[in-house]
Amino acid sequence: MATTKRPNAKKKLLDDNQIITLYMDYVLEKNKAPENVYLFCKEHGIEESQFYTFFGSLDAIKQEIWVKFLENAIVTINLEEAYAGYSEKNKMLTLYFTLFEIFTLNRSYIVYSLKENKEGLKNLQALKTFRKQFKDFVGSIMKNDADEKENRIKKVTKPVFAEGAWIQFLFILKFWLDDTSKGFEKTDILIEKSVNTSADLMDTKPLESLLDLGKFIWKEKFN
């Protein structure tokens, strides 16, 4: 005889952060993603209805994890009193360094989700919401500096700048995933060189920075 779950059954009190932690732990401990919401909830004694209060699917959790990374980085950045007075270049450097510090704290999960599960470009679907919010934040950096850099902004619009920053971010992320240097110091070098190059491209001396960046990439990848 079929049974139904009682609506008043005792449930664990959870929030979205706890569900995210359970999901990340599951992936790292079992080296695979949960097959479906039902099995994930059963594993952790969660009512499905409670799960759906926070997430519509397991894929939604994957996207939200990346959003949380960015949100945490932005909160950390805004706690820095001097940040508001930084130049556009230094704001981008602060964003990248803060973001990759957070990534390092969660490296095992990120390496699995982007590299080891063998899904190739499908992995980038998890960055869909992150991408939009990342570009919005980068656009706000340019907007805040508009008064002091009017001449350069006439040449490069915010959407183009934000899209360029996204491509730059993916490039740095790929480098970081493969970086085996102590403390990921080579990724730090790449961040500085790539941000300097993008800043110089909006100024008048791009060639020197492009050559400097090119030499570094060639040395690390081919020597």
Chain length of the chain: 223
Phi, psi of 87 (to 5 degrees): -70, 165
Is the pLDDT at 153 greater than 80, yes or no? no
Q: Which residue has the higher pLDDT, 106 or 2?
A: 106
Specify the pLDDT at position 4: 36
- Tell me the residue ranges of DSSP E strands in the chain: none
Specify the pLDDT at position 1: 40
The b/e string for 17-34 (b: 16+ C-beta within 10 A; e otherwise) is eebbebbbebbeeeeebb
Specify the pLDDT at position 14: 81
Cβ atoms < 10 Å from Cβ of 175: 19
State the angle between helix axes of 128-144 and 158-178 in degrees (0 to 180), rounded to the nearest 10.
Answer: 130
Q: What is the dihedral of CA 60, 65, 66, 71, to 10 degrees?
A: 120
Is the pLDDT at 10 greater than 90, yes or no? no
Torsion 50-56-59-63 (CA) sign: negative
Specify the pLDDT at position 189: 96
Query: Any alpha helices (H) in 79-106, and if so which ranges?
Result: 88-105
Q: Is the pTM of this model over 0.85?
A: no
The candidate with the shortest Cα–Cα distance to 152, out of 206, 85, 74, is 206
Q: Which amino acid, 144?
A: N
The span from the CA of 154 to the CA of 37, in Å, is: 49
Write the pLDDT tens digit of every residue in 44-72. 999 999 999 999 999 999 999 999 999 99
Q: Can you spell out the DSSP letters for 123-135? A: GGGGGHHHHHHHH
CA max distance for the chain: 77
State the average pLDDT for the chain: 82
Cβ atoms < 10 Å from Cβ of 62: 22
Cβ atoms < 10 Å from Cβ of 122: 9
Q: What letter would DSSP give residue 83? A: G
Specify the pLDDT at position 108: 95
Cβ atoms < 10 Å from Cβ of 81: 7
Confidence of residue 162 (pLDDT cuts 50, 70, 90): confident
Phi, psi of 104 (to 5 degrees): -60, -35
